[in-house]
Amino acid sequence: MKILQKIALGGGCHWCTEAVFQSLIGVEKVEQGYVASVDVNASFSEAVIVHFNDEVIPLQTLIEIHLHTHKSTSNHSRRNTYRSAVYVFSEEQYQQVLKILEGFQKQFENKLITQVLTFKVFEASRAAIQNYYYTNPQKPFCKQFINPKLELLLQRFSDYTKTAQLNHLKS
């Protein structure tokens, strides 16, 4: 049996982030909630923990998708709530993610602000808002904010999508 890897990702609303990563092959579980790191990043910020099979979807691909599905170059006023970050679980993962981010910088006109942070603690969202998109795909928030991210997945990362889940987006 393959041991799953995990990475925590934050950037935008955790409903959006959850829906993006739930829509990918090789992702076995997405935990939606709040993550805190250490020192100046010890406060909670919206994020997800993604449990994935790296033989199906590599960490590099997950990070590339993450960078393209939130404002990874914008240091807006809500960054305390929506910290652009990859939270790592080991020193080895930290070094790997630093190299991955460095390699993706050339895809962006502006400097990536996504931080690589040590994962410290997670607090799950209340059950009523977990699996938000796939429970409420017709809600205005889902149509306005999540659908465009999922459409980007289909356009740019279709080899990694669970297309049956996303068929409703195809026009």
Give the domain CATH number at 158: 3.30.1060.10
Residue 170 lies in a domain: no
Residue 160 lies in a domain: yes
pLDDT per residue over 114-128, tens digit each?
999 999 999 999 999
pLDDT per residue over 84-97, tens digit each?
999 999 999 999 99
For residue 138, CA distances in Å to 8, 73, 135, 147, 163 come to 27, 29, 9, 10, 18
Q: Number of folded domains in the chain?
A: 1
Task: Determine which one of 7, 8, 9, 13 is catalytic.
Answer: 13
Q: What is the DSSP letter of 161?
A: B
13 as an active site residue: the answer is yes
Range of the structural domain that residue 76 is part of: 5-165
pTM (two decimals): 0.94
For residue 120, CA distances in Å to 34, 101, 116, 169 come to 11, 21, 13, 36
Q: What is the pLDDT of residue 32?
A: 98
